[in-house]
Chains A and B, each alone.
Chain A
Amino acid sequence: SYELTQPSSVSVSPGQTATITCSGDALPRQYVYWYQQKPGQAPILVMSKDRERPSGIPERFSGSASGTSVTLTISSVQTEDEGDYYCQSGDGRGPSPVVFGGGTQLTVL
Chain B
Amino acid sequence: QVQLQESGPGLVKPSETLSLTCTVSGASISSRNFYWGWIRQPPGKGLEWIGNIYSSDSIFYNPSLKSRVSIYIDASKNQFSLRLSSTTAADAALYYCATSVVVTPPAIPDYDFWSGPFDYWGQGALVTVSS
With the chains together, A45 CA to B100 CA distance in Å? 11
Q: Confirm or deny: B106 has a beta carbon within 8 angstroms of a beta carbon on chain A.
A: no
Q: Confirm or deny: B123 has a beta carbon within 8 angstroms of a beta carbon on chain A.
A: yes
Contact string, B44-87, partner A, CB cutoff 8 A, digits 1/0? Answer: 00111100100000001011100000000000000000000000
CB–CB B117/A88 < 8 A? yes
With the chains together, A33 CA to B118 CA distance in Å? 9
B side interface size, CB within 8 A? 24
**With A44-B121, A45-B117, A90-B115 as contacts: A96 and B46 at CB distance below 8 Å:** no
With the chains together, A45 CA to B64 CA distance in Å? 25
Report A-chain residues with C-beta under 8 Å of the C-beta of B46: 86, 100-103
CB nearest neighbor in A for B109? A97
CB–CB A42/B96 < 8 A? yes
**With A33-B117, A90-B111, A90-B115 as contacts: A99 and B49 at CB distance below 8 Å:** yes
A side interface size, CB within 8 A? 26
CB nearest neighbor in B for A91? B115
CB–CB B47/A96 < 8 A? no
With the chains together, A20 CA to B52 CA distance in Å? 27
CB–CB B49/A48 < 8 A? no
B100 vs chain A, min Cβ distance (A) = 10
**With A42-B96, A42-B122 as contacts: A97 and B47 at CB distance below 8 Å:** no
